Chain A
Amino acid sequence: MAVYKFSTNSLKTPLKYSSLLAGNSVFVPWEPSGAYDSIATATVSNGTTQTITFSSIPATYTHLQLRYIIRTDRNDDYADAIGMRFNSDTGSNYHRHRFETENTGAPGYGYSNATDAQYHFMGATALCTSGVFASGVVDIIDYANTSKYKTTKSVNGVVNSGTQNWMGFQGSLWASTSAINTIALKVNYGTYYATGSTVALYGIKGA
């Protein structure tokens, strides 16, 4: 064992610190370490989850991306819609357009003053073969900017077979200049997410 000796001078004139850091640098538990970082992942491990929520999203990035596979307990169609809300805003502040196909055609839809942004996330349903999940990629642009309304774009789809499918791409606007710090994803037509549904949140940094 090493023996350390205090000097007389250090005992007579000790260093005093006004901070508990005592001269050490600040420890940051996390910070962006690359241009594309994994922030959090939610995986449903039970059959009673209605809403997946990402909260305390740091404002450190430029854009957000969510990537998912989802299945729900809906039992009257081959796809379910998931409603997305930001910062727990339940007001009529969401506007969206969607270009989609469900088995035939390629119609477009638009909705104004909705209380959530649906269809960016969708799910396979209980009518689909076991193991079939919907998949999608959602980009939320400039999410931390406090002078702009927030725009989101996505592409997604589910294919159970050649004649049982639903897919589309869409854009939406959240009429708020608040930085997005919470994203809630609620099953719409069904009630619960199926076990194994997974949503991963990533942060993208600008130069």
Chain B
Amino acid sequence: MAAGNTYEAITSVTAPGGAATQLVMSSIPATYTDLVLVINGGNSISGATWAIQLNSDTGSNYAWRMIEGSGTTATSSRSSTTGLTVASMYFTYETGVGASEVTAIANFQNYANTDKYKTVVMRENTATAPNYPGVSVSVGIWRNTAAITSITIMIPGGATNIASGTTFNLFGIKAA
């Protein structure tokens, strides 16, 4: 039986002008089944990747895998050759400059479940990145069973800033 309209907007964040190296969506309610994060933006300086941290966990509790297609070749990359040693999930290899240079959709399934690790599946378009343009698909894991209450989009190392006007729109999906 259909449970009604089950795809709802939770929050939207727009990057201000200035020096934001990360944006945080916090106080995410546990009332949905899945989360979908839609990203449209870029950097103020070219050449940096983007990553996700959950619940402000900066520990080495993440791993990720990515396939990139440049239009001529297909390659893949991963978080580590030795295992679980990174502090965030990368989801772009490189982003372009400007507020509409990256389009990405991230799916957080069963984000409020408290007995499973959290796997995130993402699709990205970085077609205007200056050195590594293309499209990619990535998957990451956060090895923690806590319900996700905050999502941080960050530039690891903080070398560049998120471009002014970059938008993050978070949606919740309810299952029957």
The chain A residues found within 8 Å of chain B, CB to CB, are 29-41, 67-69, 99-101, 103-106, 108, 129, 131-137, 155-163, 165, 167-169, 196, 198, 200, 202-203
Contacts and interface: CB of A to CB of B under 8 A. Distances in A.
Given A67-B173, A155-B137, A161-B84, A30 B7 contact: no
A36 B7 contact: yes
Interface of B: 1-7, 33-34, 63-65, 67-69, 74-76, 78-86, 107, 109-110, 115-117, 119-123, 137-141, 143, 145, 173-176
Contacts of A162: 63-65, 78-86
30 contacts: A30-B1, A35-B5, A37-B4, A38-B6, A67-B34, A67-B109, A67-B173, A69-B116, A99-B67, A101-B76, A103-B78, A106-B76, A131-B117, A131-B145, A132-B119, A132-B141, A133-B116, A135-B120, A136-B121, A157-B121, A157-B139, A158-B119, A159-B65, A159-B139, A159-B141, A160-B141, A162-B83, A165-B78, A167-B67, A167-B138
Given A101-B67, A160-B141, A162-B79, A200 B120 contact: no
Nearest to A108: B74
Contacts of B120: 135
B119 A135 contact: yes
A71 to B, nearest CB: 9
B82 to A, nearest CB: 7
Contact of A40 (B74, B84, B123, B176): B176
Q: Chain A: interface secondary structure?
A: strand
Q: Which among A33, A106, A168 has the highest number of chain B CB atoms within 10 Å?
A: A106
Contact of B173 (A36, A101, A131, A161): A36
A103 B64 CA distance: 11
Contact of B5 (A37, A108, A134): A37
A69 B110 contact: yes
Given A34-B7, A99-B69, A106-B69, 5 more contacts: A38-B4, A133-B119, A162-B86, A165-B78, A167-B67
A67 B33 CA distance: 10
B2 A38 contact: yes
Contact of A168 (B67, B116, B141): B67
